[in-house]
Structure 1
Amino acid sequence: FLLLAQGHGCKDFEGMCCMNLSDHLESIHNQLRQLND
């Protein structure tokens, strides 16, 4: 899951993956949950 989150994070957020991923991991997880739903 972490690799998936990082991969989609860099693609979806583009520049945001350069920031602290830990701060955005929750947001990324929420987006992945929405995509799964």
Structure 2
Amino acid sequence: MKYNNEYFRIQANILFSIIKYEMFCIYGEYYFTRYLSMIM
């Protein structure tokens, strides 16, 4: 069985962008709360 490299590359890109988005949300929230606590 031959794998379609293009298909796997697209899947990996989608997965990577989802992971990047998740990390961005987590770190964004973390830094935002730290920023707020610095202001208060």
Fold match (TM-score > 0.5): no
| TM-score between the two structures when normalised by the length of structure 1 | 0.40
> Highest Rg: 1 or 2?
2
Structure with the greater relative contact order (CA < 8 A, sep ≥ 6): 1 or 2?
1
